[in-house]
Structure 1
Amino acid sequence: MKKNALFLCCIWAISALSMKAQEIPPLSADSTYGVVQVSVCNVREEGKFTSGMSTQALLGMPVKVRQYTGWYEIQTPDDYTGWVHRMVITPMSKQQYDEWNRAEKIVVTSHYGCTYMKPDRHSQV
């Protein structure tokens, strides 16, 4: 009997922890903008990996964040909307977004490039 009670307590604890891990925090009111942080971001019709792709967003593209449900619903500058995984954009406030837009950018047009730790070709890649 004690083994059964212990087993049931363990099952209850595991299920309680997994339910807590699935809680989705609400989208912060000041995080209604974002920037794509991967080279090519698949924008999906629904917030799941098996959903069809509606468009793609590129590294550095500024987006509007419409909602968050574990995935971000975004709107691209050319008015496409869709869902992206939470790891592919950096959400930010309007002020951070405006600062990022005003900041100087580097555009790489070669097929590949290296990033160095210091502004010196002999420093570590």
Structure 2
Amino acid sequence: MKQLELITLPELNEIRRLWVIEKHEMEDSLPGIYEQATGEPFPGPPVDDAMPLSASDMKVLKDMCEDDTLHYELTRELLDVVRQQRGFARRAGLFKSLEDTLRRGSHDSAEAAEALALSRRDALEGQRAQ
């Protein structure tokens, strides 16, 4: 009986790249999901041989952060920013990337981010009025 291929290997590799590189998923869980679903090891190449932390390391980090999802995700992203810059002789953009990450991860909720933005807007309008 012929098996139906729902998703191709190149598509899986692209999903994996997006998860690991763009979404900062250092656990690289796609190969495990693939093996669990198919019973076979994932046939694709490694996304990044320089992954600094393993899935078990990330579990330790998650355990340390307990229920503080914000700090867990922020720490993951900061570690990944540093990983991406590792090996570059010139780390152009490192501080900008770190700053952007810290700004994104500095709010517990959309409401907190909105409140900060509104207070900044009000402060700017107050300065302009003077």
Normalised TM-score (structure 2): 0.27
Normalised TM-score (structure 1): 0.28
Q: Which has the higher helix share?
A: 2
Greater RCO (CA < 8 Å, at least 6 residues apart): 1
